[in-house]
Amino acid sequence: MRVDLFDFALPQELIALRPAVPRDSAKMLQVEGDRLSDHIVSDLPQLLGPKDILVFNDTKVIPAQLQGTRGEAKIGATLHKRVDLRRWQAFIRNAKRLRVGEVVDFGMDVSAEAEAKLDDGSFILHFLGDEPVELLLERAGTMPLPPYIASKRAIDERDVDDYQTMFAKEKGAVAAPTAALHFTDGLLAALAEAGVGSEILTLHVGAGTFLPVKVDETDEHKMHSEWGRIDAATADRLNAARKAGGRVIAVGTTSLRLLESATGEDGIIRPFEGDTDIFITPGYKFRAIDGLMTNFHLPKSTLFMLVSALMGMDTMQEVYAHAVAGGYRFYSYGDSSLLLPDR
């Protein structure tokens, strides 16, 4: 399919630079089949049924943005995916000034050797020394806000909390699973009282989520892989919930992509641990999920392709036109949507 089919006009003033306060006061556009209705996130307990299950991602964002030098050259690095205890795949800014074998000094006694250059232009960085890489990043790194926010304002202390979900536990993401940023303790309590269940999985979101689609046809695009895990007990509970007539609703595209990666053509969710590079476009047959809660995405992005696959291309163009006209806020710190395709 042509990538330009997934384009739409978005006024720049609708890009959210800060999250709603409180978090669950953000607007939420419910889409049931082709029917649209306006809500706020705290309405969620009234919109779901007592057998439904929300599936959250407990990945935790690490300070994966680094600024350094190689000689006189300024080098920026955004970590993407852990290779092993001391090595990370990273996207490099000013990459033409960095060669394999050279060392980048990130300050604060943190340095890394460019050990290899991959086909996609990224590098394998080997962090030098004996200290755990996590400590090095805490010292020299900053929160990796998406470029559409970081280009408009400086990263500050508020972002350290704002860009983590309440579920954040397993360190390893370089981007937040932003759909879950809307949840609060009070909202979770109200959902539990309404009989809505919850489950947890882990997918470490990589920097590839920010990369633009640079090809003209969707089948020419290559997704970057990300590591995820669903344990056996969680898979069993999700399968039982669906068998009992409940809906599995992924909170965020990261949860959805991992669930779909773990599910066979028979519709059974299985334990999963490893990499996934699943790329969902219109024509895909969903196996694991019955709905999706997600923010509003970039034009021509793989995430807008995913929601178009779930709800239909014409429906999603209508949904986004409604959101723009209604002043919904877009992207990571923006408002939410609840997408429920006809069963």
CATH of the structural domain 3-61+160-340, one choice from 3.20.20.70, 3.30.360.10, 3.10.20.30, 3.40.1780.10 = 3.40.1780.10
Is 65-141 a CATH 3.40.50.2000 domain? no
Could you give the C-alpha distances from 252 to 95, 160, 278, 333, in angstroms and in order?
A: 32, 20, 15, 13
Return the pLDDT at 26.
Answer: 98
Return the pLDDT at 95.
Answer: 96
Return the pLDDT at 84.
Answer: 96
Return the pLDDT at 207.
Answer: 81
Domain boundaries, the chain: 3-61+160-340, 65-141
Return the pLDDT at 107.
Answer: 97
Return the pLDDT at 52.
Answer: 98
Q: What is the mean pLDDT of each run of 10 residues along the chain (343 residues)?
A: 96 97 98 96 98 98 96 95 96 96 98 96 97 96 91 92 97 96 98 98 88 91 94 98 97 98 97 97 98 97 97 98 98 98 90
Return the pLDDT at 117.
Answer: 97
